[in-house]
Structures are given as structure tokens and as C-alpha cells.
Amino acid sequence: MNIHTTHIETPLGIARIVSSDVGILSISVLDDKSTVSNSEIIPPILQECITQLKEYFEGKRTDFDLTLAPEGTDFQQRVWKELNKIPFGKTCSYLELSKKLGDVKAIRAVASANGKNPLWIVTPCHRVIGSDGSLTGYAGGLWRKKWLLAHESPVKQQSLF
């Protein structure tokens, strides 16, 4: 299996995109630019992912149409599939997500699977919030989660301060 890696600049940092012959394996955001190195060949699947991410950040795209191949347990795959059902501009609580998966008691396992989501932005784990509306946990940092939710908000509000 051929693995290819590329990076793009985003408003939230450098995004690392990794693909195989099967699909996109992971998209992550980096805090350290020193780890950036690209494959010599950028296959069409990576080119398409770059295009779609740029469109998302430009406000021209609200959903993604990519071939995804994230690696995870069956349970993680179920959680990630459910995350993809959360509409652009909407949020869902960990409790609601657990209920949708059929086991309200699995809330911690759902939160753990959410935190291990390998497809930053494309599988929208940033749309999951606490039951009280709080911005709980985010692997990329809460400031990025806040930015993403504001970017996706149908109501754009300017700061008064």
C-alpha cells in the first residue's frame, strides 16, 4: 500500500493530510511546522482533499465528498459515521450522540472515540459539545473548536469589544 503525505496552511495552523491507495487516512492540525515534509507525488485523492479543505475555509463548502479510509475499531467507526450526520452549523452533545448509537451509558466511550477521530474537520468532531452547551475537550485545542463553530455558524456576529 502506498502512503502519501502533504500539508496545507489553514487559518488554524498547518494541516497534515495522509492518504493510501484506498482513501484519506488522516487529517490533523500541527502546532510545530518543523515536522512538515511532503511526498514527492501528490495523488489526485490528496489534491481533491486540499481543494475541498480550502473551499471549506473560504466559506464555499459545507460538506465533504472524499473517499475516506480512517483506521479504528468497529465502535470508533460507528461513532465517526454518526459524527458525519451532524449538519454544518449545528451541534450535538455527547449524550445525544450516545443515544443515537443506542446506549446512553456509552457516553465516555463515545467521547473517547470522538477524541480519536483521525479526520480533522472532515469528520466533524468539533460539532460535539457538552450537554450544557459548553465547549468540552478538543484534541486540536478549544480555541480551534471555538473558531470552527463560529466559522460554521449561520449567524455571523461581530465582537462588540
What DSSP line would sit under 34-101, residue for residue?
A: GG----SS--HHHHHHHHHHHHHHTT--SS----B-----HHHHHHHHHHTTSPTT--EEHHHHHHHT
Identify the active-site residue in 27, 125, 129, 149: 125
| pLDDT digits 0-9 by tens, 109-145 | 999 999 999 999 999 999 999 989 888 888 888 999 9
The pTM of this model reads 0.90
Spatial separation of the C-alpha atoms in residues 40 and 143, rounded to whole Å:
33
Beta bridge partners of 6: 17
Q: Which pLDDT score is estimated for 137?
A: 80
92 assigned to active site = no
Pair 94, 137: CB distance under 8 Å? no
Q: Which pLDDT score is estimated for 15?
A: 94
| pLDDT digits 0-9 by tens, 22-78 | 999 999 998 877 667 777 888 999 999 999 999 999 999 999 999 999 999 999 999
Q: Is the pLDDT of residue 157 over 80?
A: no
Closest CA to 130 of 78, 95, 88, 86: 95
